[in-house]
Amino acid sequence: MAKVSGNATGDVPVDEAHIQSSMRKVALTALAGTSIEWYDFFLYATAAALVFPSAFFPNSTPTVALILSFGTFSFGFIARPLGGILFGHFGDRVGRKRTLVIALLLMGIASTMIGLLPTFATIGIAAPILLSVLRFAQGLAIGGQWGGAMLLVTESAPPSKRGYYGAFAQAGAPVGVILANLAFILISAMISEEAFMSWGWRVPFLSSVVLIGISMYVQLHMEDTTAFKELQALTAQKLAQAPVGKKLIRRSPVLEAIIKYPKRIALAAGAFLSIQVTFYILIGFILAYGGDPEGAAMSRDNMLLALLIGSAMQILAQFLAASYSDRNGRRGVFMLGAILTGMWGFALFPLVDTGNFWLIVVGVSGGLMALGMMYGPQAAFFTEMFSTEVRYSGASLGYQVGAILGGAFAPTIATILWKEYDIIWVSVYIAGASLLSLISVKLLTETYKTNLNATD
């Protein structure tokens, strides 16, 4: 991996077969790590809609319990920018690999502990408090994981395939949804509803110990990126050339990123809004809406299966859009995805309201494929916005600020709009977020020919 150069000039001669073999290893490792990491994060979304209202908020009405459950779900998003700041600092200082390993370990431990957590019936109010703390830890982990995984891939990829290989890190999100939903479907199929609500929901969380093994593999078998190694060499040279007795002061990479690129960070956050709002409505809120006894009343497993199929279609859309962006640029396909996402929001709920399984699949798949047109090229797009010395911090800040603004309260807001007004206002909410993303990307410049080894 160390020999794979991200230099746009291609001045490092390497064997093509070695490049492909090395990149496959990096891409598949990033995919495995991010898939399990997102699996843990999304397990919570599914459980927040189906299990946690009764397990942790049994004294509330069903609607209030659902809102409170989605409220604890939002704690993970509140922590994500903090995770981006913390891990971004160390990712730009000590390396992408080591920082990613710590993030993976934190997620594995927090998710396993959720599986061991007593419910309200056992320890009372301490149960939802501890649940919120562990969700906060998940948010810190995911805030650090994304930057490390996507930089490990994009900084190592050949310039002409940066979008394609970056899509492997991005694919971890829909793969995580698939794994989380499969886990719930399989467990509920093997045991009774009573057993599922009592202890069965814990099994998918306990399986998160696998993430600890993946983190050890990354630590032992992966190298850091060429771009970061070149940055280290340049920093060492500057330190060696500094006058004797004069200390070279280095500002925090996070502070440096905010000072250098405030507009890019803000616009990156805006670009991410539509993805986050729509995604968490589709993987969280839609489970509560589609299974509502007063509505279509689809079974839980059918709603999960529809989401599983839609997530598989999202993966396909992400790779196609990312590959297209390598040839034609990131902005065009990203903006088209924002337009289609906003329009599809008005088709989604009428399709779900039919109660027809395949029409629900069409509704969910259409929304996930449209946002996949944005999410696929995003890793390369955000990587190319920032110079090497602040890239982890800058990209993570843009991503995680967009996450908290767009995704943190999306299921809660959607639930309130649905219950207090009408479901059409959830569609308007999706369209409004898509418009903001469209404007943000329009204001950004094209990046796909950027030299990733450039430093300031």
Residue 54 has pLDDT above 50, yes or no: yes
Cα dist. 77→343, 417, 444 in Å?
Answer: 26, 20, 25
Paired tokens of 213: 């093994």
pLDDT recorded at residue 378: 93
Paired tokens of 285: 């809120």
pLDDT recorded at residue 198: 82
How far apart are the C-alpha atoms of 105 and 108, rounded to whole Å? 5
Residue 5 has pLDDT above 50, yes or no: no
Mean of the pLDDT values across residues 204-210? 82
Please report, rounded to a whole number, the percentage of residues in the chain having pLDDT higher than 70. 84
pLDDT recorded at residue 285: 85
- Exposed, middle or buried: residue 312 (CB in 10 Å: 0-12, 13-18, 19+)? middle
Q: Considering the domain boundaries, does residue 281 fall inside one?
A: yes
How far apart are the C-alpha atoms of 275 and 209, rounded to whole Å? 29
Mean of the pLDDT values across residues 254-271? 89
How many CB atoms lie under 10 A from the CB of residue 327? 10
pLDDT recorded at residue 187: 83
| pLDDT tens digits, 386-445 | 887 888 888 888 888 888 888 778 888 898 898 889 889 999 999 999 999 999 999 999
Residue 266 has pLDDT above 70, yes or no: yes
Q: Considering the domain boundaries, does residue 12 fall inside one?
A: no
Closest CA to 387 of 203, 272, 259, 295: 259
How far apart are the C-alpha atoms of 14 and 7, rounded to whole Å? 12
Q: Considering the domain boundaries, does residue 89 fall inside one?
A: yes
Closest CA to 98 of 224, 221, 194: 224
**Contacts of 350 by beta carbon, 8 Å cutoff, 6+ apart:** 363
Q: Which domain holds residue 171?
A: 21-225+252-443
pLDDT recorded at residue 71: 79
HSE (CB half, 13 Å, CA atoms) of 279?
27
The answer to whether 46 touches 26, Cβ cutoff 8 Å, is: no
Residue 354 has pLDDT above 70, yes or no: yes
Q: Considering the domain boundaries, does residue 81 fall inside one?
A: yes
Q: Concatenated DSSP letters for 5-31?
A: ---TT--S---HHHHHHHHHHHHHHHH
Residue tagged 């050949």 (tokens)? 158
Q: Global pTM? A: 0.79
Residue 78 has pLDDT above 60, yes or no: yes
Residue 79 has pLDDT above 80, yes or no: yes
Residue 267 has pLDDT above 90, yes or no: yes
Q: Considering the domain boundaries, does residue 206 fall inside one?
A: yes
Task: Say how many domains are in the chain.
Answer: 1
Q: Considering the domain boundaries, does residue 208 fall inside one?
A: yes
Residue tagged 């993805």 (tokens)? 275
Write the single-letter amino acid at 232. Answer: Q
Paired tokens of 112: 């396993």
Q: Considering the domain boundaries, does residue 242 fall inside one?
A: no
Residue 295 has pLDDT above 80, yes or no: no
Cα dist. 21→157, 160, 379 in Å?
Answer: 11, 16, 21
Closest CA to 407 of 167, 34, 79: 79
Q: Mean pLDDT across the chain, nearest whole number? A: 82
User: Helix, strand, coil % (nearest 5) of the chain?
Assistant: 80, 0, 20
Backbone angles phi, psi at 280, to 5 degrees: -75, -20
How far apart are the C-alpha atoms of 8 and 131, rounded to whole Å? 47
Paired tokens of 380: 């390369």
Looking up residue 407, the CATH number of its domain turns out to be 1.20.1250.20
pLDDT recorded at residue 296: 52
Q: Considering the domain boundaries, does residue 123 fall inside one?
A: yes
| pLDDT tens digits, 120-154 | 888 988 988 998 889 889 888 888 877 778 888 88
Residue 109 has pLDDT above 80, yes or no: yes
Q: What's the gap between Cα 214 and its chain centre? A: 18
pLDDT grade, residue 263 (50/70/90)? very high
pLDDT recorded at residue 193: 77
